[in-house]
Amino acid sequence: MKNESVIHQWLQKKQGITLAVYAGLIAFCTYSCMYAFRKPITAGTFSEYNDFFGLQYKTAIVIIQLMGYVLSKFIGIKFIAEMDGARRAYTLIGLVLFAQLTWLGFALVPQPYNLFFLFLNGLPLGMIWGIVFSYLEGRRFTEFMGLALSASFIFASAFVKDTAKWLMNLGVSEFWMPFATGLIFLLPLVIFTLLLNQTPDPTIADEQLKTKRKPMNAIERKAFYMKFFLGLTLLILVYVLLSVYRDFRDNFMAEIFNDLQLDKSTFTNVELWVSVAVLFLLVFIVFIKNNKLALQVNLLAVLCGFLVMGIATIGNLQGWLSNYWWMFATGFGAYIAYIPFNSILFDRLIAAFKTAGNTGYLIYLADSFGYLASLFVMFYRNFGQAELSWAVFFAYTSLSFAVAGFFLTLASMVYFYKK
């Protein structure tokens, strides 16, 4: 069906910037819609409900959903690395429909038993990024398309929260709000997925520039990792820090904003300008044709991100940076470091060393340990530092992660430069 499509035939004739704009925009819209099936729950506070085995009910919601998401990421190391392109669109739609059904179970089953549906909700959604990015990798303009896709998880998370808040203001309960949010975005997601599926395969010119991408079996995955053992280990540690930081900030932004006495209606406002600023700076990497140089520039962007996080936090603690601009700066620093991992850094790494494989394997390898670490931090926050406010805990985390991330990134830059 794909090969007979008028859109597909038109795109085959428009290889280049036209295809990049089309695929990047549709990928952005597809993944933005996905957030409606994962993140609306974080817009609620659930403050009126009893603790669950020592966890605040909201914290229990985030942790249990994250457990399913972490398991999904580990499954994705094999699933995404070995996936071919035949039924990607139908797989994506099926996974999202399953996630939507879990929100119905969450609304109908009384608490705390409905928490089990949060685990089920996370299970399918961890696969979506890899499926969407598989349409974009290994092309001349992968960076451009990847940045467009990555912008979705800066903007869409806040937009979905604002949509969920709007529904609750209309009288929708916190338990029905996720299902209602999903209904709004379900049809757009199906449409955008089918449009994304019209994207033609990479051309011979793409493969010559970026190396041919192919599924990887277990033996090939192990050989690839051992070839770059130290460098990949350092990068995974860096990504663990960024993933924990970004996930904590995203999941508990409502609580942090409350502590800082910021209006929660500014969720989208803050994240929109963060996404614009990050994309404006990172888009210049697209024009670097030398893959080895581009890899180092990506790592430099990560290094600068950690610097911004640390300096902004010190500025806020010293009183010369307002709470609003602190949240903006930490978002900017986190995402200018985080986005390269999810769209361009690993793609350039494969191209720089001309190693056959696919970006999905590396992304999911890093993602798995990143989200697993997020779970441990959630438990530590609840049981080890419960007396701290959300804002104070966030400030301590910002400083410590900025220092550790800076030196780990610096070490990885040295490794790959010598390699």
Q: What is the DSSP string of 284-351?
A: GGGG---HHHHHHHHHHHHHHHHHHHHHHHHHHHHTSS-HHHHHHHHHHHHHHHHHHHHHTHHHHHHH
Determine phi and psi for 51, rounding to 5 degrees. Answer: -65, 160
Determine phi and psi for 315, rounding to 5 degrees. Answer: -60, -40
- For range 61-86, the mean pLDDT: 89
- pLDDT beyond 90 at 407: yes
Percent of the chain with pLDDT over 70: 95
Residue 297 in tokens: 């520039």
Residue 381 in tokens: 């926050």
* 268-281 confidence digits (pLDDT tens): 667 677 877 887 88
Location of structure tokens 């419960």: 386
117 vs 39, higher pLDDT:
117
* 170-184 confidence digits (pLDDT tens): 999 989 999 999 999
Determine phi and psi for 213, rounding to 5 degrees. Answer: -100, 140
* 279-295 confidence digits (pLDDT tens): 788 878 878 888 899 99
Give the model's pLDDT for residue 89: 93
In degrees, rounded to 5, the angle at the alpha carbon of residue 330 between the alpha carbons of residues 324 and 334 is 150
Question: Do 55 and 386 meet the contact criterion of CB atoms below 8 Å apart?
Answer: no
Interatomic CA distance for residues 190 and 202, integer angstroms: 23
Rg of the Cα atoms in the chain:
21
- pLDDT beyond 80 at 2: no
Give the model's pLDDT for residue 1: 42
By 3-state DSSP, what share of the chain in percent is helix, strand and coil, each rounded to 5?
Answer: 80, 0, 20
- For range 344-365, the mean pLDDT: 86
- pLDDT beyond 60 at 224: yes
Give the model's pLDDT for residue 75: 94
- For range 190-195, the mean pLDDT: 96
Interatomic CA distance for residues 70 and 251, integer angstroms: 15
Among 296-300, 317-321, 340-344, the minimum mean pLDDT is found in 340-344
Give the model's pLDDT for residue 142: 85
Give the model's pLDDT for residue 386: 67
- For range 253-278, the mean pLDDT: 75
Give the model's pLDDT for residue 356: 74
CB atoms under 10 Å from CB of 204, counted, come to: 8
Interatomic CA distance for residues 60 and 283, integer angstroms: 38
SS3 54: coil
| Residue 244 C-beta-side C-alpha neighbours within 13 Å | 25
Interatomic CA distance for residues 9 and 74, integer angstroms: 36
Which domains does the chain carry? 2-418 (1.20.1250.20)
Location of structure tokens 């690993």: 346
Type of residue found at 157: S
**Taking all residues of the chain, what is their mean pLDDT, rounded to a whole number?**
88
110 Rama class: left (phi>0) / alpha (psi -120 to 50) / beta: beta
> Per-residue DSSP letters for 361-401?
HHHHHHHHHHHHHHHHHHHHHHHTSTTS-HHHHHHHHHHHH
Type of residue found at 78: K
CB atoms under 10 Å from CB of 412, counted, come to: 22
Q: What confidence tier does 148 reach under pLDDT thresholds 50, 70, 90?
A: confident
- For range 184-201, the mean pLDDT: 95
* 17-35 confidence digits (pLDDT tens): 889 899 999 999 999 999 9
Among 115-119, 175-179, 201-205, 279-283, the minimum mean pLDDT is found in 279-283
Interatomic CA distance for residues 30 and 191, integer angstroms: 8
Give the model's pLDDT for residue 204: 84
Question: Do 238 and 408 meet the contact criterion of CB atoms below 8 Å apart?
Answer: yes
Give the model's pLDDT for residue 50: 66
* 380-393 confidence digits (pLDDT tens): 877 766 677 888 99
